[in-house]
Structure 1
């Protein structure tokens, strides 16, 4: 189902806001979309992790058959570590820098413009509890109308 003209404009504005807010993230998303990479998973890492997990499963079976609990525990540990390693994304050479900014992209208004929330609004929304924030969002939606 194709997007309407209004939805296309809102999507383009959201993309522009993403590039303005965090260009590194935007370029990384664009690169992974163009190459077809699956969320940073490396095939070699995945295959090696699965092999370690299968070897761990074999150790569990051997430990149960030979009544050596420590071999089974070691096999279980290998299974968990192999699965976790296979499921974790590959790290880039640069790693994470401490200067990366975190924050929201902005709010899309009724006219389709994207605006950044003020720092006071962000701090105020986190000061209350979860239910209080949900009530505030509900009240804002009711005030805006359908």
Structure 2
């Protein structure tokens, strides 16, 4: 039985309150089911990779090119699946708009961990002159300040 609009709204409010009060707990609760499924996918993909190696080697020993190619394709597909499973939810979040982490979609939000406030120094551009010009300017300033 699906939830009514009011029940969905109340559930979203409770999720937001949980994230605000205890973000660590919310992150832990959000990630356990995904990690279990990702681990299972990675193990199955590893077994398929070994099967692909066996098929590839069988094709090579029997000198049957088609069997070797099929083994390689099995290895490639299983390696791709294993890597996407190990990469985490960020790899598939762009493809699925429901997995964006927005509270209105029924999932918890991701806590940035304080990196949002950090800024980088702007890089110098060519308009400030070349490296040698800057070094000459520094040398002149040192001589003027030092009284040489």
Looking at secondary structure, tell me which structure has more helix per residue.
Answer: 2
TM-score normalised according to structure 1 size: 0.41
Greater Rg by CA: 2
